[in-house]
Chain A
Amino acid sequence: MRRLKLRKPRKSLVTRYVLLLAVALLFIPVLIPVSFMASWGVNLLLDPKGAGPDIRPYGNGLDIEADWHQASAKLRDATPEVIGDTLRTMKLKYPDATMYWVDSKGNTQLQLPEQSDVPAQWTLEDTIAFMKARVNGDPFTVVAFIGGGEEVRQGFMVFELPRKFMVITDDKRDDGRFYGVFLVILLGSFVLLSALFFGDIRKRLLRLAAAMSQTGASGLPSPIQEGRPDEIGRLEQAFNQMLYKLENSRQREQEEENLRKGLISHLSHDLRTPLTVLGSHLYSLRQEPLTDQGKQSLSLMETKISDLSGLMDHLLSYSLLTSKRYALSMERLDILRLVRESAAAWYPVWEKAGISADIELPEQPLYWSVDAQGFRRVLDNLFQNLVRHAGSGGYVGISVKLENGAEALIISDRGPGMEVESTSHGSGLGLQIVDLLLREMNLTRKTQTSPAGTAISIYPLRAPN
């Protein structure tokens, strides 16, 4: 589909999902430094004075060394008192440092403060061991020849400073303490984004499912509001289009049905109107003086008009029924009541035709699921057939009997049977309509016929188990 290719990639669910994944993957290398930076930043905000170079109160080692050498260089030919003063001055400057000096004979002079591990008399081995131990050791140690050089032979002065004053001390600060928090927040936000992404998809799918399963007044689901134009959005679109098409076809079907019904109605009208006019003229003719032969002809014509009218009704009903245009509304009804009402309407006809009615119906109702109109029509057609073709028997029996374990309605006569060509035989359309209607109502008909009479049983079809 062309429209699919033209769609903007960001409108696709796949694009969004890939984007989400890409963000997640990129975040793994980015996440850790970013978390750390954020943590550091927060620390800075929380504790701004903790930052800066004042964690090394005496500057770095080179500064101290230069200072110490400078001080020693100034002491060329100085007396032990002057050297002592210089040390005291330096001690004021470096209160945490330990200093002493050793004269050219190897005797330890002024110590600030006094220390036990400094030998009073330095041997050559002492000196070498001391120098070896102090290289890059703790305390940080500077040794300078007094007077600026070894050739002056005035001895040397030693400066010791514990390394803790030299390194960047961050014992009270931990830049990483918020690192975990930020890692969790960032990871959490990724999880949240994923959850929202899928939650949104799920919600929309569920909404779609609900919309599809809920039917409106027309028996069809109602259209749904189209959301974002991604895959689900297109599904919604397709669903709405399908609904639209379905509605259209329903409407067409309805129109066709109405057209057909209208056609049949008009046909019926156009056929019956001339028959009625014909009947009216026959009736007028009756008022005229006629011979017996003429009167007989009139009666015959009247009978034929009535037959023709009945046949037309059958034909048009048959057409409606076979095209499934006759909508049955099935209800659980007491069919005995319908039978009694129908028999009540036919009773005068039977009386006139010399048919005696033997109606033996139980007091208890018999409930079948039928369409009232359709069931009446069945009875009408059967009673009409009976009067027409079996009137000679002079009997109609209506009863309920158990047949094959089911209650059946039995309509019987003492006519010549269906095998015999009735004098006023028809096309059998009436009986065909009966069968069509019975089938539509899940009923069935069984007929036993002999020259002594006919019995028609009607009973419900057993639901297939």
Chain B
Amino acid sequence: MPTTNLLYIEDDIEIGDWVSENLRERGYDVTWLTSGEQAVEQAVDRHLVILDVMLPGLDGFTVGGRLKQHYPDLPVLMLSARTSIDDKLQGLKFADDYLTKPFHPDELAARIEVLLRRSGESPAAEPIQLKHLLVYEKENRITDEATGEEIVLTGKQFHIFTYLLRHLGQILTKEQIYEAVWNEPYLDGDKTLMVHIRHLREKLERDPANPQVIETIRGIGYRVRT
């Protein structure tokens, strides 16, 4: 199984030492740099970059901007010790996610997993178990664990399900799903998504009236979690 290759840029020795050690323990291949000067060269063939905002010389925003310019698809997770109110505006323009110090290593690991999954970089060679379903992400295949039957989805159904899978564990609003899948602004009171979700559930759920795989979070949206 190929290891996930992370580039970590952090100038504080104590924090950098601890975070990179922790991530290695979790099975990631981590390259830690103490400044952003070499970031662009070092980012080749990485799966994800963890970038501290406050860096000596080039600051994290500049480095992040350059990285995104060279590798638009490379996920960038910003770490910041600055006030969220002014950093978030600037940082999130290019960063894929954002974590404020101090953070718990479990939280960092969870965010990394979400980003990797979202970018399709997660080496999910093993199927994901979703209740009674086995999802083979790489092969775009879903089977029922009990019967072994393959479940075939239509284009839009597959699209919706993949989007939910990419954000495993996250609640997604109707607007977010619609706009990601249809790639056009969500119109108020549009029932299209609900119809598609209903059809999707008819295929995926044991009991579509009491869905387990695609949860409805009342008033907010939908969630798929393991």
Q: What residues make up the interface of A, taking CB atoms closer than 8 Å to B?
A: 261, 264-265, 268-269, 271-273, 275-280, 283-284, 302, 305-306, 309, 313, 316-317, 320-321, 326, 337, 340-341, 343-345, 347-348, 357-361, 363-365, 373, 377, 398
Task: Find residues 1-38 in chain B having any chain A CB closer than 8 Å to their own CB.
Answer: 12, 14-15, 18-19, 22
Q: A341-B176, A357-B218, A357-B219 are in contact. List 14 more A-B contacts (CB 8 A).
A: A272-B102, A273-B15, A273-B81, A273-B101, A276-B15, A276-B81, A278-B102, A309-B102, A321-B85, A337-B173, A337-B175, A341-B173, A359-B217, A363-B189
Task: Find residues 171-216 in chain B having any chain A CB closer than 8 Å to their own CB.
Answer: 171-176, 188-189
Produce 1/0 per residue, B153-171, CB < 8 A to A. 0000000000000000111
Chain A min CB distance to B177 (Å): 11
CB-defined contacts of B12 to chain A, threshold 8 Å:
273, 276-277
Q: Give the total of B residues in contact with A, Cβ under 8 Å.
A: 37
Residue of A nearest to B176 (CB): A341
- Contact among A271, A280, A340 for B221, CB-based, below 8 A: A340
The docked-state distance in angstroms from the alpha carbon of A421 to that of B32 is 46
Say yes or no: is B149 at the interface (Cβ < 8 Å to chain A): no
Say yes or no: is B42 at the interface (Cβ < 8 Å to chain A): no
CB-defined contacts of A344 to chain B, threshold 8 Å:
170-173, 217, 220-221
Interface of A (DSSP majority class): helix
Say yes or no: is B105 at the interface (Cβ < 8 Å to chain A): yes
Q: Are B105 and A283 in contact (CB under 8 A)?
A: yes
With A280-B14, A340-B221, A344-B173 as known contacts, state yes or no: A261 contacts B101, CB within 8 Å. no
CB-defined contacts of B69 to chain A, threshold 8 Å:
none
Q: Are B101 and A276 in contact (CB under 8 A)?
A: yes
CB-defined contacts of B103 to chain A, threshold 8 Å:
276, 279
- Contact among A265, A302, A348 for B86, CB-based, below 8 A: A265
Residue picked from B22, B82, B102, most chain A C-beta under 10 Å: B102
With A277-B15, A279-B104 as known contacts, state yes or no: A398 contacts B219, CB within 8 Å. yes
CB-defined contacts of B101 to chain A, threshold 8 Å:
272-273, 275-276, 309
CB-defined contacts of B174 to chain A, threshold 8 Å:
340
CB-defined contacts of B62 to chain A, threshold 8 Å:
none
The docked-state distance in angstroms from the alpha carbon of A363 to that of B188 is 7
Chain A min CB distance to B132 (Å): 22
Residue of B nearest to A373 (CB): B89
CB-defined contacts of A306 to chain B, threshold 8 Å:
102
The docked-state distance in angstroms from the alpha carbon of A321 to that of B18 is 35
CB-defined contacts of B170 to chain A, threshold 8 Å:
344
Q: Are B88 and A373 in contact (CB under 8 A)?
A: yes
Say yes or no: is B130 at the interface (Cβ < 8 Å to chain A): no
Interface of B (DSSP majority class): mixed
CB-defined contacts of B173 to chain A, threshold 8 Å:
337, 340-341, 344
Sample (8) of A-B pairs whose CB atoms are under 8 Å apart: A273-B12, A277-B15, A279-B102, A313-B100, A317-B85, A337-B175, A340-B174, A340-B221
CB-defined contacts of A283 to chain B, threshold 8 Å:
18, 22, 104-105
Q: Are B220 and A317 in contact (CB under 8 A)?
A: no
Of all A-B residue pairs in the complex, the 8 with the closest CB atoms, nearest first, are A359-B219, A272-B81, A344-B171, A280-B18, A276-B102, A316-B83, A269-B81, A279-B102
Residue picked from A261, A277, A377, most chain B C-beta under 10 Å: A277
With A276-B15, A340-B173, A347-B171 as known contacts, state yes or no: A320 contacts B86, CB within 8 Å. yes
Residue of A nearest to B225 (CB): A348
- Contact among B14, B169, B220 for A340, CB-based, below 8 A: B220
CB-defined contacts of B105 to chain A, threshold 8 Å:
280, 283
Residue of B nearest to A312 (CB): B83
Produce 1/0 per residue, B80-104, CB < 8 A to A. 0111111111000000000011111
Chain B min CB distance to A132 (Å): 122
CB-defined contacts of A309 to chain B, threshold 8 Å:
100-102
The docked-state distance in angstroms from the alpha carbon of A364 to that of B188 is 6
The docked-state distance in angstroms from the alpha carbon of A360 to that of B84 is 29
Chain B min CB distance to A282 (Å): 10
Q: Are A364 and B85 in contact (CB under 8 A)?
A: no
Say yes or no: is B54 at the interface (Cβ < 8 Å to chain A): yes
Chain B min CB distance to A126 (Å): 130
The docked-state distance in angstroms from the alpha carbon of A63 to that of B19 is 137
The docked-state distance in angstroms from the alpha carbon of A360 to that of B100 is 31
Q: Are A361 and B82 in contact (CB under 8 A)?
A: no
The docked-state distance in angstroms from the alpha carbon of A277 to that of B54 is 15
CB-defined contacts of B104 to chain A, threshold 8 Å:
279, 283, 302
Q: Are A280 and B15 in contact (CB under 8 A)?
A: yes
Chain B min CB distance to A229 (Å): 48
The docked-state distance in angstroms from the alpha carbon of A343 to that of B174 is 13
The docked-state distance in angstroms from the alpha carbon of A340 to that of B188 is 14
The docked-state distance in angstroms from the alpha carbon of A365 to that of B172 is 17
Residue of B nearest to A277 (CB): B14
CB-defined contacts of B84 to chain A, threshold 8 Å:
313, 317
CB-defined contacts of A398 to chain B, threshold 8 Å:
219
With A273-B101, A276-B102, A343-B220 as known contacts, state yes or no: A268 contacts B81, CB within 8 Å. yes
CB-defined contacts of A359 to chain B, threshold 8 Å:
217-220
Q: Are B86 and A326 in contact (CB under 8 A)?
A: yes
Chain A min CB distance to B221 (Å): 6
The docked-state distance in angstroms from the alpha carbon of A306 to that of B102 is 7
Chain B min CB distance to A258 (Å): 11
The docked-state distance in angstroms from the alpha carbon of A309 to that of B99 is 13
Residue of B nearest to A337 (CB): B175
Residue of B nearest to A309 (CB): B102
Residue picked from A305, A337, A398, most chain B C-beta under 10 Å: A337
Residue picked from B173, B174, B189, most chain A C-beta under 10 Å: B173
Residue of B nearest to A364 (CB): B188
The docked-state distance in angstroms from the alpha carbon of A144 to that of B223 is 148
Q: Are A364 and B189 in contact (CB under 8 A)?
A: yes
Task: Find residues 65-90 in chain B having any chain A CB closer than 8 Å to their own CB.
Answer: 81-89
Q: Are B220 and A326 in contact (CB under 8 A)?
A: no
The docked-state distance in angstroms from the alpha carbon of A341 to that of B177 is 12
The docked-state distance in angstroms from the alpha carbon of A317 to that of B171 is 28
The docked-state distance in angstroms from the alpha carbon of A377 to that of B88 is 11
Chain A min CB distance to B170 (Å): 7
The docked-state distance in angstroms from the alpha carbon of A321 to that of B88 is 15
With A344-B170, A363-B188 as known contacts, state yes or no: A326 contacts B175, CB within 8 Å. no
Q: Are A343 and B219 in contact (CB under 8 A)?
A: yes
